[in-house]
Amino acid sequence: MSANVAEVVRPRPYRLAELGLLILAIAVATSAYALVGLGVEGTIPANVYQYGAWLAVLGLIIHVVVWWKAKYADPVLVPIAVLLNGLGLAMIYRVDLGRSEYLNSSLTQLIWMTLGVGLAIAVILVVRDHRWLRRYTFVSGFAALLFLLLPLIPGLGKTINGARIWIGVGSMSFQPGEIAKILLAIFFAGYLVSYRDQLVAAGPKILGIRFPRLRDFGPIIIAWVASVGILVFEKDLGTSLLFFGLFVAMLYVATSKVSWIILGLGFFSVGAVAATFLFSHVNQRVSGWLGALTAEEYNKTPGGSYQLVQGLFGMSNGGLIGTGFGEGRPNMVPYAESDFIYASFGEEIGMAGLFVILLCYLIIFQRGIRTAQQLRDGFGTLLATGLSFTIALQVFVVVGGVTRLIPLTGLTTPFLAQGGSSLVANWMIIGLLLRISDNARRPVEDFHTGVLRVTEDPEERTASARDSGDRNDTARIEDEDAPTTNFAATRNGAADSDETPTTNLGTTGGER
Amino acid sequence: MSEFTVTVFRFAFFIILWLFVLGVAGVLRRDIFGARRGSRKSRRGRSKRSAAPVPSPAAAPRQSPPPPAAAPPGGGRSQAHPGAIRVIAGPLAGTSLMLSGAPVTFGRAPDNTIVISDDFASSHHARISAQNGAWVLEDLGSTNGTIVDGRRIDSPVRLRIGTEITIGHTTLETQS
């Protein structure tokens, strides 16, 4: 609490701390890269300085933009993202060197990282107040569905390894589902903050649990069935799992009812058991998980447990401190640079390194939830929770799959794994979290954003002063937020969004 | 390069890797390792900083920059004037806010300090401000009223530590 206290009263921007951590992160990434060269080829790679400089330029650009535009943003998010991304680059480079043909995939990944950092900066610059996103609640919902549908379009969609989740333009391929998860988080935050009360208070009561009315819950069911259904058609288990977890988590945060979690887990177990029997690819994963160490699963050629078990062998070979970069044999595992990059790290930097990686994810998640707690508006709280949960769930699904805690599903490890779309999407999430945390920690008197303004002077904040002084601002709020309010009103007759009172305030000038 | 040098480099790598983690933990110390220790420190620092340029009414109810610094550990708790409010129930549960210079307003409108998205809250529902050296809660003519320790208030009340304020579905508590 008192951390909160200190930040609200005289918040320290901690920008120099961010710079220090950023320099440390770049040092770690660059030395990892150099160690890979030392381990595999015996010499430090010739381009290590260019590599370090590129990372440093990217990090410094986003640091300066944050300092300039989001001064109070959380100080650890950028360094952690840079560190994870840099470690990932080094490992991709290492796996590349271990292959018979050199694909230079770490350069490709570095270009994607540049794009991702650029998009994160764009998010910080464009989204000046996260509340602005709330106006695009339903637009985001439809856009998310559209993005999820894109790979099913013949000619545009591409099937890679049995999953039809890519779209290909020329030689480039992209997973639109990664962007869809951000859009869905925005949609759910906006929708739930408006309809939270109806969801909780109205509806029939069955078995002591109050179920929401269909008309309140309808859009959620539509979005959920559509996204999960599409993913079943596209055969992408990991993303379905991610979306489902995201929905349950956000419903729980919005309504603070444990029954949602119970219902969600119940639905999930039913769905999972049904999918095991209905779809052969799900069944394969489950049997490969249960009987991973049996000879028949290990030797089964399509869809056996070979990859999983090789990953486990790799990690056990790594032990406590790993074999060292370039000393292990991560290439034994298929997809050592993407799906199984966690196992590659386990082999080469051991448990001591894996714990750093896991701690980094934990801190990102903690910062997101912390930000959600500090925020003073419901939409931001839900959005920050949703975004942090996407990262946390993704890590859980991947790491759980690789370490054989849960059946293996194909998801990318955020920031580490090779794959441009995931990297870009995660950088956008970092951009959004930076923006939201800036708003959460910014002192009240500095709160000048595009959407609303809070005056600081206590004397002037009396009732009479508000009439004259704030009229312009409130009128502007009315203009900006009118579409949301009207939309909510026409949808349900009872507009109860946050903005409604503001609209009244704008028209009457004062509240009393 | 000899095997020995590579090994040295490997361990150096681990050291900077963990230095990074410790650095992050240092920045987040107050968040991660409990707030109390940090709070006393920061409160001391703050009172020094705010002593000079604060002609605002905040200085009065904050009652004395010296006591928190001079008081023995935990002594701050006995202060009668609350220093913070915390949302203990409702959608924003967990949020807390330091009572400083500016008044704190509650309500549904987004320009409130704490936005309460609740059908039972008015757009500008209640306000806490400093008056005569104490924090005073007043209802701003809300429809459903502001309830303090179980009673609906009709005139401004002085806040003490541990007062429970209920606005719609949201309950707040004043803390030291």
Q: What pLDDT, in 10s, does the model give residues A338-356?
A: 889 999 999 999 999 999 9
Of residues A328 and A431, which shows the higher confidence score? A431
Query: Cα–chain-centroid distance for residue A113?
Result: 15
Token pair of B72 as six digits: 């023995």
Helices (H), A202-279: 214-234, 237-255, 258-278
Q: Is B130 on the interface with A (CB under 8 A)?
A: yes
Residues of B (62-81) whose Cβ lies below 8 Å from A = none
Give the residue, B28 or A220, on which the prediction is more confident: B28
Indicate the pairing of strand A209-210 with strand B84-89: unpaired
Task: Tell me if A216 sits within 8 A of A195, measured CB to CB.
Answer: yes
Least confident of A18-27, A280-289, A422-431, A473-482: A473-482
State the Cα angle at A40 between A38 and A42, rounded to 5°: 45
pLDDT average, residue stretch A30-41: 90
Taking the Cβ of residue B9 and every Cβ of chain A, the question of whether any pair is shorter than 8 Å is answered with yes
The predicted model scores a pTM of 0.74
The secondary element (H helix, E strand) that includes residue B151 is strand B151-152
pLDDT of residue A330: 86
Give the pLDDT score at A312.
Answer: 92
Residue A173: the pLDDT is: 77
Which residue in A35, A196, A463 is closest to B9 by CB distance? A35
Pull the structure tokens for residue A291: 């009987």
CA atoms in the 13 A half-sphere facing the CB of A190? 25
Interface touch A502/B110, C-beta < 8 Å = yes
Alpha-carbon distance B51 to nearest alpha carbon in chain A (angstroms) = 13
Q: What is the pLDDT of residue A316?
A: 92
Q: Residue A484: its pLDDT value, please?
A: 38
Rounded to the nearest angstrom, the minimum Cα separation between A236 and chain B is: 34
Contact B102 A445 (CB under 8 A): yes
Average pLDDT over residues A393-419: 89
Q: With an 8 Å Cβ cutoff, are B109 and A375 in contact?
A: no
Contact assignment for B92 to A378 by CB distance below 8 Å: yes
Percent of chain A with pLDDT over 90: 31
Token pair recorded at residue A132: 């602005």
**pLDDT score recorded for residue A326:** 85
Cβ(A488)–Cβ(B96) below 8 Å:
no
Residues in chain A within 8 Å Cβ distance of B79: none
pLDDT for the residue A202: 66
Cβ contacts of B107 on chain A, cutoff 8 Å: 501, 511
Residue A478 has pLDDT above 50, yes or no: no
Helix, strand, coil percent content, chain B, rounded in steps of 5: 35, 25, 45
- pLDDT, one tens digit per residue, over B59-96 is 344 444 443 333 344 334 444 677 778 888 877 777 77
pLDDT of residue A198: 75
Band (pLDDT 50/70/90 cuts) for residue A305 is confident
* pLDDT tens-digit series, residues A184-215: 999 989 988 888 777 777 666 666 666 666 66
What pLDDT does residue B101 have?
Answer: 65
Give the Cβ contact number of residue B12 at 10 Å.
12
Assess B35–A contact: CB distance below 8 Å, yes or no.
Answer: yes
pLDDT for the residue numbered A231: 66
Report residue A389's pLDDT band, with 50, 70 and 90 as the boundaries. Answer: very high
Which residues from A are below 8 Å from B100, CB to CB? 8-9
- Given a contact cutoff of 8 angstroms between Cβ atoms, the answer to whether A113 and A361 are in contact is no
The residue ranking higher by pLDDT, A465 or B135, is B135
Span A68-93, average pLDDT: 92
Closest CA of chain A from B167, distance in Å: 15
Using alpha carbons, list the distances in angstroms from residue A366 to A186, A371, B5, B11.
20, 8, 38, 29
Report, as an integer, the average pLDDT of A52-62: 94
* Interface contacts A/B by beta carbons within 8 Å: 208
Distance between CA atoms of residues A220 and A495, nearest Å: 18
Chain segment A222-258, per-residue pLDDT in tens: 767 776 777 677 777 778 888 888 888 888 888 877 7
Q: Using an 8 Å CB-CB cutoff, list chain B residues near A39.
A: 6
Chain B residues whose CB is inside 8 A of the A74 CB are none
CA separation for the pair B94, B100 (Å, rounded)? 19
Maximum CA pair distance of chain A?
Answer: 81
CA distance to partner chain A, nearest, from residue B75 (Å): 15
Q: Which two tokens stand for residue A12?
A: 């320290």
- Alpha helix locations (H) across A256-340? 258-278, 280-290, 295-299, 306-318
Task: Please report the pLDDT score of residue A161 as a whole number.
Answer: 67
Q: Does B10 touch chain A (CB under 8 A)?
A: yes
ipTM: 0.78
Q: Are A377 and B140 within 8 A, CB to CB?
A: no
Q: pLDDT of A116-149, one tens digit each?
A: 999 999 999 998 888 888 888 889 988 988 888 8
Contact B24 A79 (CB under 8 A): yes
User: Higher-confidence residue: A410 or A71?
Assistant: A71
Residue A410, pLDDT score = 76
Q: What are phi and psi of A323, to 5 degrees?
A: -85, -15
Cβ atoms A424, A435 nearer than 8 A? no
pLDDT value at residue B128: 85
Residue A427 pLDDT exceeds 90: yes
Among A4-18, A63-77, A458-472, A495-509, the range scoring the smallest mean pLDDT is A495-509
Q: Which of B5, B19, B27 to mutate to test the interface with A (most CBs of A within 10 A)?
A: B27
Q: What is the pLDDT of residue A90?
A: 92
Q: What's the rounded Cα separation, in Å, for the pair A113 and A104?
A: 15
Cα dist. B41→A162, B37, B38, B69, B76 in Å? 58, 7, 5, 9, 12
More confident residue, A431 or A289: A431
B115, B138, B172: best to mutate for the A interface, most A CBs within 10 A = B115
Contact (CB<8Å) B140/A512: yes
pLDDT at B109 over 80: no
Higher pLDDT, A11 or A69: A69
pLDDT per residue as tens digits for the range B23-51: 998 888 876 665 544 444 444 444 444 44
**Candidate from A2, A367, A477 with C-beta closest to B39:** A2
Cβ of residue B52 closer than 8 Å to a chain A Cβ:
no
CA distance B81 to chain A (A): 15
Nearest CA in chain A to B17: A28
Say what the pLDDT of residue A208 is. Answer: 64
Residue A93 C-alpha, separation from nearest chain B C-alpha, in angstroms:
17
- Choice between A226 and A273, residue whose per-residue pLDDT is larger: A273
d(CA A148, CA A228): 10
Q: CA Rg, chain A, in Å?
A: 24
pLDDT at residue B62, as a whole number: 42
Contacts of B48 in chain A (CB under 8 A): none
Say if the Cβ atoms of A511 and B122 lie within 8 Å. Answer: yes
> What average pLDDT score do residues A175-183 get?
88
Helix (H) or strand (E) holding B45: helix B36-51
